[in-house]
Structure 1
Amino acid sequence: MKISHLKISNILGIREAEIEPGRFTEISGKNGQGKTSVLEAIKSVLEGGHDATLLRRGADAGEIVLVLDDGTTIRKRVTAKSSPVEVIQGGQKQKQPGNIIKELTDLLSVNPVDFLRAPKKSRVQVLLDTMPIAVDVEKLAQIANIPVHADGDTNGLAVIEAVRKQVFDDRTGTNRAIKEKEATINQLELAMPDAPGGVDGSEDELAQQVVAATATKDAELERIRTKLDGIKTKNQSQIDAIREETQRQIDEIKTKALKDVEAIQAEERRIEGLAGQQREKAIQTHTDTVTPLNQALESIRSNRELHAKRSQTLETINTMEKELEVLEDDAGKQTKALADIDKYKSELLDALPIPGLEVRDGEIYRDGVQFDRLNTAQQVDIAVEIARLRAGELGVVCVDGLELLDKDAFEAFRERCIGHDLQLFVSRVSDQEFQVKTDTQL
């Protein structure tokens, strides 16, 4: 369905104008002559609502009339206070004109150039609204190996993108954990003591030998001490007897007695010297016996600690290597999940009316190229495709400011729109006076 006749009275810069539009209608002229006013008049009817600024300066009322090729007439009157709209079909005035207009067209298809100029976020939302995709949540959850939740209002592409991002982030965390685990294992292996060697034997047996050697030493010292004490006791008895015997003859035998005492004491010192030597010999014998035993004990104890530390380190490394295997398995599964998600997404995209178009990381891509990096003709092609998909029964496209497109891009835009059975109203700045040309006149 197309607009076959357009009448405008006292709207913006237009006092009176009647146009018989074709498939492609170009409104050209100098600035300020009403080119944009024609487009705004058409859009105001399709958008509905009241806008007093549409009224031409000095006029009390304005009017816009659209006659469609099936005989439907849409009339909008504009005053300072209201903008009533009426729709006449089959010669009868319809009760709900706003609903009829909504059924005829989608406002997002009115100007695809607005799509080109829109912020990235808005373009993405328009695309998602234009190409709704139903996602099999259970299948996607099975592919991704994570729970997937999606309400009915969320576009399938957005759901897939969110799931893919979560799996990608999970894999990033897993790979980070793998690197940390590998680094820890390497550090443990470098710090782990070598397998100890040296003295072998039973710790208890060597300890018993030390006790036995100590007992032998103590017994020998006790023997020496007992013998010495006996000698001292005997000597003291002799000295006492001599003193008693010489008491009476002290003066006569004093010299001899002192010599005898000195001889006895000298002998005692000799015996004490011998006893000291025997004591030192016993201690040295004990030391010579115990030292290697203690060294063997220390070696065994040290080896036992080293064995325990090494065993503990080996056990830790073994545990970490098992954990590393689990992490590497998880990373492999996550990598496969990403590939399967991309495959599933590609399968869904292949069924879309605009091939190669997808949303990734909040950006529109076509055949893997970001939207803003596509050339103008490719961007226009996407905008027109979206306009076609969103267009209702009345496929009207109103485009202002196409001077920004070069000649080739403009021709591509025009041919693309006509090829999709859209009706274009285009304004262009020129050096000539205001004029309207249709596709048959261009």
Structure 2
Amino acid sequence: MTDHTEANMQGIISLQIENIKKIKAVTIRPNGGFVEITGRNGQGKSTVLDSIWWALKGKDNIQAAPIRNGADKGSIKLEVGGYLIERTFRRNQVGGDYTTKITVTTKDHTTMKSPQAVLDGFTGMLGFDPLAFMRQTPREQYDTLRGLCKLEVDVEELDRQYKDLFAQRTDVNRDVKAAQMRLDSMTLPDNAPTERVDVSALVEKVNEINRKNSEVAQRQRMRQTLLSDNVRRGEEAAKLHARLAAIERENEQADAQIRDITNFLHENKTQDPTEFTDKIKQAEQINSVMDLRERRNFEEKALHTAQTHADELTAQMKELQERKKAAIEAAKLPVSGLEFGEGELLLNGVPLAQLSAAEQLKLSMDISMAENPQLKVVLLKDASLLDNESMEYIRARAEKEGYQVWAERVASDGAVGFTIENGELKHSEEQ
């Protein structure tokens, strides 16, 4: 696009309004950088600032019913730098709607073929009201600036994805912490065994020894019983010679059994199972350590898996942050340190809502002036709400930066600035 900006463009040279809203006919030629539009409520002073905005920023920004009641047409003429801008309105005879037209003419009377494109070339956020911006909610401030910046990606979607990943990572980190706590509670003793012991084989060995011991004890009791019987039968033999033969046969049988048992006892001694019961206890301790080792191996794998997942999520979150950062940098926000947070604006990482009133006013002025580096005009509605300190800051700041401030204020005692009454100029700085 061809740059039609005049080198001497600064503020507004003159403003003529006719039959717009409550204004009948008003001409204002500012004298100085601070232009006060005063008057009682409902007299038409707000229309002055609206007219500047409508003349420069296109029909999409015009309110409904801009033509004054009772009139069929209206106009706004604005002289800025080397341009004469004229926006006309004509009421339609049918339906009560209206049509509007914009023309832009240079000093040498050349009419621009694409007038709105010329105006858009040297106006940014003209009409940006710092006071209105300060009164917006954090979300409204976010949306206001978002609408002015062309971001290559949807930062809200990146924030949503980041929030989802953050929640996932929180859950995974919870698993990581739980796995680490379980792992830390499993302390292996020094010189811990590395192989399991077959407890069932040891138990079977003890059972076998117990069976043998039981059999030996049984045979011992049996031997004792047989010995007792032999004694008893010997005593009876002295008395019962008649039964001697039978008893001798019984004794011979008993002696044979005794020999067998004696031989058995010589061959099978009583064994002590303590060695193997001790080994069973040791095996249980060893195997409990092996159980602990296996659980630790499982938990180490679980910890590694969870940590890997957490690291992957962290990398994804970092990528989203870098994409968001790149998108914001590409959008070229008007003030250094200003960035998009999660549904709110941040200045050097601090939410705007946490800034002091003075800091918020400074930021609002910074944004407004950064967006209007050529046509240096700032519009202030409801300037009556500013305290003296804030108003003085705006005056000094505008003077320092070479900006022209148009401030709408409710009339106070005495005529100040340009006073609007009943849609006409009652008092002017020129008078």
> How many correspondences in the alignment?
378
Give the drift of 1:63. 1.7
Q: Distance in 2 between matches of 1:352 and 1:154?
A: 15
The alpha-carbon distance between structure 1 residues 51 and 358, as it changes in their structure 2 partners (threshold 3 A), is closer
Q: Report matched runs for 1:122-137 at 5 Å.
A: 122-127=140-145
Q: Report matched runs for 1:420-431 at 5 Å.
A: 420-431=401-412
Q: Distance in 2 between matches of 1:422 and 1:296?
A: 102
Report what 1:180 is aligned to. 178
Aligned: 1:13 with 2:22 = yes
The alpha-carbon distance between structure 1 residues 57 and 215, as it changes in their structure 2 partners (threshold 3 A), is closer
Q: Provide TM-score, normalisation by structure 2.
A: 0.65
> SS at the partner of 1:84?
strand
Give the drift of 1:106. 2.5
Aligned: 1:116 with 2:134 = yes
The alpha-carbon distance between structure 1 residues 59 and 208, as it changes in their structure 2 partners (threshold 3 A), is closer
Aligned: 1:301 with 2:268 = no
Give the drift of 1:184. 0.8
Q: Report matched runs for 1:200-215 at 5 Å.
A: 207=205, 210=208, 214=212
Match of 2:70 among 58, 66, 81: 58
Q: Distance in 2 between matches of 1:316 and 1:37?
A: 79
Q: Report matched runs for 1:28-67 at 5 Å.
A: 28-45=38-55, 46-49=57-60, 51-67=63-79
**Contact preservation (8 Å) 2:129, 2:378:** yes
Give the drift of 1:428. 0.6
**Contact preservation (8 Å) 1:103, 1:393:** no
Q: Distance in 1 between matches of 2:267 and 2:147?
A: 97
Report what 2:122 is aligned to. 104
Amino acid in the other structure paired with 1:40? D
> SS at the partner of 2:405?
strand
Of the structure 1 ranges 102-111 and 22-31, higher mean CA displacement relative to structure 2 is found in 102-111
**Contact preservation (8 Å) 1:217, 1:282:** no
Amino acid in the other structure paired with 2:124? D
Amino acid in the other structure paired with 2:177? K
Match of 2:384 among 403, 420, 429: 403
CA deviation profile, 1:62-106 (whole Å, cap 9, x unmatched): 222112231323222242422322213232443433323322322
The alpha-carbon distance between structure 1 residues 69 and 89, as it changes in their structure 2 partners (threshold 3 A), is same
The alpha-carbon distance between structure 1 residues 98 and 184, as it changes in their structure 2 partners (threshold 3 A), is same
Q: Distance in 1 between matches of 2:12 and 2:76?
A: 13
CA deviation profile, 1:260-302 (whole Å, cap 9, x unmatched): 6767788899999999999999999999825x32x54344334
Report what 2:104 is aligned to. 88
Report what 1:313 is aligned to. 292
CA deviation profile, 1:330-377 (whole Å, cap 9, x unmatched): 989969x98xx89x979x98x976344344444333345431122222
Looking at secondary structure, tell me which structure has more helix per residue: 1
**Contact preservation (8 Å) 1:7, 1:18:** yes
Aligned: 1:380 with 2:389 = no
Amino acid in the other structure paired with 1:396? V
Q: Distance in 2 between matches of 1:67 and 1:110?
A: 20
Q: Report matched runs for 1:128-207 at 5 Å.
A: 152-154=152-154, 172-173=170-171, 175-189=173-187, 207=205
Q: Distance in 2 between matches of 1:69 and 1:435?
A: 26
Q: Distance in 2 between matches of 1:187 and 1:280?
A: 58
The alpha-carbon distance between structure 1 residues 106 and 353, as it changes in their structure 2 partners (threshold 3 A), is closer
Q: Distance in 2 between matches of 1:380 and 1:184?
A: 55
Q: Distance in 2 between matches of 1:383 and 1:57?
A: 35
CA deviation profile, 1:316-342 (whole Å, cap 9, x unmatched): 33664687689789989969x98xx89
> SS at the partner of 2:99?
coil
**Contact preservation (8 Å) 2:213, 2:270:** no
> SS at the partner of 1:83?
strand
Amino acid in the other structure paired with 1:76? T
Report what 1:26 is aligned to. 36
Amino acid in the other structure paired with 1:87? T
**Contact preservation (8 Å) 2:58, 2:116:** no
Amino acid in the other structure paired with 1:115? F
**Contact preservation (8 Å) 1:28, 1:35:** yes
Give the drift of 1:179. 2.6
Q: Distance in 2 between matches of 1:311 and 1:284?
A: 42
Q: CA RMSD in A?
A: 5.5
> SS at the partner of 1:16?
strand
CA deviation profile, 1:217-249 (whole Å, cap 9, x unmatched): 58x96xx89xx9xx9xxxxxxxxxxxxxxxxxx
Q: Report matched runs for 1:243-258 at 5 Å.
A: none
Amino acid in the other structure paired with 1:377? A
> SS at the partner of 1:53?
coil
Amino acid in the other structure paired with 2:76? I
Report what 2:81 is aligned to. 69
Give the drift of 1:114. 2.8
Q: Distance in 1 between matches of 2:117 and 2:286?
A: 86
Uncovered stretches (5+) of structure 2, i.e. residues with no partner: 1-8, 194-200, 230-238, 420-427
**Contact preservation (8 Å) 1:377, 1:409:** yes
Q: Provide TM-score, normalisation by structure 1.
A: 0.64
The alpha-carbon distance between structure 1 residues 430 and 278, as it changes in their structure 2 partners (threshold 3 A), is farther
Q: Distance in 1 between matches of 2:310 and 2:130?
A: 43
**Contact preservation (8 Å) 1:397, 1:425:** yes
Larger Rg: 1
Give the drift of 1:433. 7.6
Give the drift of 1:187. 4.0
Q: Distance in 1 between matches of 2:404 and 2:210?
A: 116
